[in-house]
Amino acid sequence: MSTATYRLYDDKADFRKKAEGIAVGLTVGSWTELPEVAKQKMEKHLGQVVSVEAHEPENAAPGERYADITIAYPDANFSRDIPALLVTVFGKLSMDGQIKLLDLQPSAAFLQAFPGPKYGIAGVRERLDVPDRPLLMSIFKSVIGYDLDGLREQFLQQALGGVDLIKDDEILFENPLTPLERRVETCIGAAREAERTTGQKLIYFANLTGPTSQLRANARRAIDAGANGLLFNVLAYGYDALAELAADASIDVPIAAHPAMAGAFYPSAFHGIAAPLLLGKLMRVAGADLSLFPSPYGSVVMPKAENLAVQDALVNGKLPQAASFPVPSAGIHPGLVPLILHDFGQDVVVNAGGGVHGHPLGAAAGGRAFRQAIDAVISGTGLEQAAARHEELRIATERWGIRQP
Amino acid sequence: MSTATYRLYDDKADFRKKAEGIAVGLTVGSWTELPEVAKQKMEKHLGQVVSVEAHEPENAAPGERYADITIAYPDANFSRDIPALLVTVFGKLSMDGQIKLLDLQPSAAFLQAFPGPKYGIAGVRERLDVPDRPLLMSIFKSVIGYDLDGLREQFLQQALGGVDLIKDDEILFENPLTPLERRVETCIGAAREAERTTGQKLIYFANLTGPTSQLRANARRAIDAGANGLLFNVLAYGYDALAELAADASIDVPIAAHPAMAGAFYPSAFHGIAAPLLLGKLMRVAGADLSLFPSPYGSVVMPKAENLAVQDALVNGKLPQAASFPVPSAGIHPGLVPLILHDFGQDVVVNAGGGVHGHPLGAAAGGRAFRQAIDAVISGTGLEQAAARHEELRIATERWGIRQP
């Protein structure tokens, strides 16, 4: 059995009855009126109510009364793919009143069908030869309208600052100025150049786009041109597209899942799919080596508790799949590093855009300021103390301030 | 330029400034600080604020202040596919506060890339030899746990009632009891048998499921086994998967789009994607010959104005794509037919489950009651009058009542 947990708001429903209706309605369709012999045949397909935790305060205001309902669905009812699981547990039901899908606990048998991240945290670290410090990712300042030279210069400046990972913008599609293969060659060329200066390795995540049927071929084109990572807008294509890429041995580079469109799902209390499932567990099961999600620090925010629940879903020991790197994104500057590392620990990717490019001394200095901040926190040196020693970090903290945990 | 319209709630934002931030931020990234020469190069990629209609009542209560904002995005910025369009206009932005995507007006050039429905309303009618009356679709009572004989008997009873279209349950996946090809052979066999009695044609929509990369092959397997229609859970795979099936000449049967998971997107006022876009325009552009959506009549409801906006998006003359059949679903019984035809006109599929199977004389009688109701409304006979002449309709209206427009 695989279970699904929902939060269901209703001002007057009998939640237990509602739960039983879901368990029957989304599986065998009807039960009590079935003849005994049919029941025997159908029993192995019948959903079960696992729990109903009702929150029914006396004199509840409208919209205050809800229940968390967990239903178990027999694995015999659906095939071993995420579309089948989601359509079973939240296909029709998503439209049935105020109901949000909070979590899924797929069975061991279901999970076994998913190899998960090919690299995950450990594999990405190995590729970079960075065994334990937090990683630093940076994002292009802007990409649309840039030609190859413009992109190369941006890439090089970021890379020279000592970032570990650079990703394409998720809105950079196949285009005549920076077509995929030439873009990859250009950026990887810049990466190699920077590596000679920094002495460290770098992964470039090229944005994987195009028609669904061409994703694998486009991924291979990017890899053949030198890409050592792929960025993928998972929710625009469905989890299964990611799962198929992750399960494909020929796609032998890490995949970073971008959360584009996630805000259509998770922010409402009354509808949609909770972020820890949407951007955490399902991304990991489907095989994301890294998963980006809105940090609790910037302008595009997700509450911190939800953020940490996303992180937990990406890294906890409860799944057979390798752990995915959490990448809390948006609004990140070097002065936040103590807080990020406090909240997320070492297995985190510090991901910055404006915090790198907006550095008064330029993007390379911006990257260095982040690396100085990370080193300071790891070594137990205070950020102020490190800033006194490092010009880049000093200027960054003067600009953006320091937020201690 | 392709435009996107959003409703943005904010208790204090300067909506005009916010709109300008979106237009720049989701295209060239920055503008005012660009040197003149860069502006010249970037101008053709720059988004434009088309309109800002602010709703800012004095002393607005929290959550009451909003603006409808329309932004134009240069087509040069994205490739001609729906994932690229959605990620551009609502990728990151979906996570930026309380914002809902209300509508998209893709450019003519963008729309040209989409052949749309291969059959649409006209083509489905032609396949059925039913030039103008509303069509009748029925749904299996239950499918999980049934073997081929059980499914065949259910199919035959529905078909004998004179329904035009029968669809698989969206939660019926590949399974050992009713594997795709044998299921199709069985159901189409029953359809042929019924056709000899009813003298009319019938389309069977087999549920198209499985790994994304196998959808085309599975569709062909179903068609080769005799399926003359396909049901597809579009939102679980992404619109592009549908668009590719629709553009594929070898998939030469109508496709019905199921709205499974749609409730994760459309019901919130503050987040997600509005139903007329989600289940109307995008389904049509992507090529759904029929689009199912929750009717305003049953337990799983969508407000009527929203329903009619979905219908309009499926059939209006504003798109180059053929019109898709609207299929308002859930809670439909024969006594609702006058209301459905009043609301939707003749180009509608009356889609019933319980209203067919729950008929006291059985599913065949249930189908006949619907056909009697449809004929009565078309011919201008009142339902009461027709019920006096037809036992099936009489019993149905006694059971479920009649709702006049």
Please say if the pLDDT value at position B103 is more than 90.
yes
Question: Which chain B residue shows the shortest CA-CA distance from A241?
Answer: B212
* Domain boundaries defined on chain A: 2-112, 120-400
pLDDT grade for B193, boundaries at 50, 70 and 90: very high
Q: How many helices (H) and strands (E) does chain A have?
A: 18, 13
Closest partner residue to B264 among A45, A241, A271, by Cβ?
A271
C-alpha distances in Å from residue A202, one per residue of A126, A129, A163, A207? 12, 10, 7, 16
Q: Cβ contacts (< 8 Å) between A42 and chain B: which residues?
A: 144-145
- Non-local CB neighbours of A22 within 8 Å, separated by 6+ positions: A6, A47, A49, A69, A71, A93
Interchain proximity A30–B141, CB inside 8 Å: yes
- The A residues from 182 to 211 touching B (CB cutoff 8 Å) are 209-211
Nearest to B313 by CA among B304, B303, B305, B323: B323
Q: How far is the alpha carbon of A267 from chain B, nearest alpha carbon, in Å?
A: 7
At which residue do the structure tokens 């590392």 appear? A341
A·B CB contacts under 8 A: 233
| Tokens (6 digits) for B205 | 């929509």
Interface check for A217 against chain B (CB to CB < 8 A): the answer is no
Distance CA B145, CA B197 (A): 29
CATH number of A2-112: 3.30.70.150
Interchain proximity A87–B241, CB inside 8 Å: no
For B39-91, how does the pLDDT look when each residue is reduced to its tens digit (9 = 90+)?
Answer: 998 999 999 999 999 999 888 888 899 999 999 999 999 999 999 999 999 99
pLDDT at position A300:
64
Residue B286 CA to its chain's centroid (Å): 11
Interface check for B27 against chain A (CB to CB < 8 A): the answer is yes
Nearest to A320 by CA among A111, A32, A141, A124: A111
DSSP per-residue codes, A217-255: HHHHHHHHTT--EEEE-HHHH-HHHHHHHHH-TT--S-E
Distance CA B292, CA B244 (A): 19
Please say if the pLDDT value at position B306 is more than 70.
yes
pLDDT at position B404:
85
Nearest to A166 by CA among A380, A343, A327, A338: A327
pLDDT at position B385:
95
Please say if the pLDDT value at position B301 is more than 80.
no
- Non-local CB neighbours of B397 within 8 Å, separated by 6+ positions: B334, B335, B383, B384, B387
Write A11-20 long-range contacts (CB < 8 A, 24+): A11/A60, A11/A62, A11/A63, A11/A65, A12/A65, A15/A52, A15/A54, A15/A56, A15/A67, A15/A69, A16/A49, A16/A52, A16/A54, A18/A67, A18/A69, A19/A49, A19/A52, A19/A67, A19/A69, A19/A71, A20/A49
Interchain proximity A267–B263, CB inside 8 Å: no
Interchain proximity A261–B143, CB inside 8 Å: no
Please say if the pLDDT value at position B254 is more than 80.
yes
pLDDT grade for B300, boundaries at 50, 70 and 90: low
Interchain proximity A145–B271, CB inside 8 Å: no
Mean pLDDT throughout B291-295?
Answer: 96
Mean pLDDT throughout B367-391?
Answer: 95
Beta strands in A258-324 (DSSP E): 272-273, 290-294
Mean pLDDT throughout B333-352?
Answer: 96
DSSP state at residue B118: S
What whole-number percentage of chain B has pLDDT above 70? Answer: 100
For A30-63, how does the pLDDT look when each residue is reduced to its tens digit (9 = 90+)?
Answer: 888 888 888 998 999 999 999 999 999 888 888 8
The continuous run of DSSP H or E covering B3 comes out as strand B2-9
Residue A17 is a catalytic residue? no
Q: How far is the alpha carbon of B241 from chain A, nearest alpha carbon, in Å?
A: 6
Question: Which chain B residue shows the shortest CA-CA distance from A142?
Answer: B29
Distance CA B271, CA A75 (A): 32
Q: Cβ contacts (< 8 Å) between A210 and chain B: which residues?
A: 79, 81
Which residue in A87, A104, A172 has the most chain B C-beta atoms within 10 A of its own C-beta, making it the best mutation to test that interface? Answer: A87
Interface check for B287 against chain A (CB to CB < 8 A): the answer is no
At which residue do the structure tokens 């210069």 appear? A153
Interface check for A45 against chain B (CB to CB < 8 A): the answer is yes
Q: Cβ contacts (< 8 Å) between A287 and chain B: which residues?
A: none
Please state which architecture CATH assigns to domain B120-400: Alpha-Beta Barrel (3.20)
Q: Cβ contacts (< 8 Å) between B213 and chain A: which residues?
A: 213, 216, 244
Q: How far is the alpha carbon of A339 from chain B, nearest alpha carbon, in Å?
A: 22
pLDDT grade for B188, boundaries at 50, 70 and 90: very high
- The B residues from 6 to 25 touching A (CB cutoff 8 Å) are none
Question: Which chain B residue shows the shortest CA-CA distance from A294?
Answer: B95
C-alpha distances in Å from residue A50, one per residue of A12, A70, A288, B123? 21, 5, 30, 47
Distance CA B396, CA A218 (A): 56
Mean pLDDT throughout A283-304?
Answer: 90
Q: Cβ contacts (< 8 Å) between B279 and chain A: which residues?
A: none
Write B388-396 long-range contacts (CB < 8 A, 24+): B391/B361, B392/B359, B392/B361, B392/B365, B392/B366, B392/B368, B393/B334, B393/B368, B393/B369, B395/B359, B395/B360, B395/B361, B395/B365, B395/B369, B396/B333, B396/B334, B396/B335, B396/B355, B396/B359, B396/B366, B396/B369, B396/B370
pLDDT grade for B251, boundaries at 50, 70 and 90: very high
Bridge partner list, B241: none
Interchain proximity B144–A294, CB inside 8 Å: no
3-state secondary structure of B200: coil
Interface check for B37 against chain A (CB to CB < 8 A): the answer is no
Q: How far is the alpha carbon of B330 from chain A, nearest alpha carbon, in Å?
A: 10
Interchain proximity B30–A142, CB inside 8 Å: yes
- At residue B290, what are phi and psi to the nearest 5 degrees? -135, 145
Q: How far is the alpha carbon of A320 from chain B, nearest alpha carbon, in Å?
A: 21
Nearest to B328 by CA among B342, B318, B320: B342
Of the residues B17, B39, B41, B92, which is catalytic? B92
The continuous run of DSSP H or E covering B18 comes out as helix B15-25
Interchain proximity B272–A259, CB inside 8 Å: no
pLDDT at position B8:
97
3-state secondary structure of B68: strand
Interchain proximity B96–A211, CB inside 8 Å: no
Interface check for B217 against chain A (CB to CB < 8 A): the answer is no
For A126-175, how does the pLDDT look when each residue is reduced to its tens digit (9 = 90+)?
Answer: 999 999 999 999 999 889 999 999 999 999 999 999 999 999 999 999 99
For A329-365, how does the pLDDT look when each residue is reduced to its tens digit (9 = 90+)?
Answer: 988 999 999 999 999 999 999 999 999 999 999 999 9
pLDDT at position B33:
83
| Tokens (6 digits) for A134 | 């937090």
Mean pLDDT throughout B150-162?
Answer: 95
pLDDT grade for A316, boundaries at 50, 70 and 90: very high
Of the residues A17, A41, A92, A318, which is catalytic? A92
- What average pLDDT does chain A have? 95
Closest partner residue to B244 among A142, A212, A244, by Cβ?
A212
Question: Which chain A residue shows the shortest CA-CA distance from B100?
Answer: A264
C-alpha distances in Å from residue A161, one per residue of A42, A50, A128, A130, A200? 62, 52, 15, 16, 11
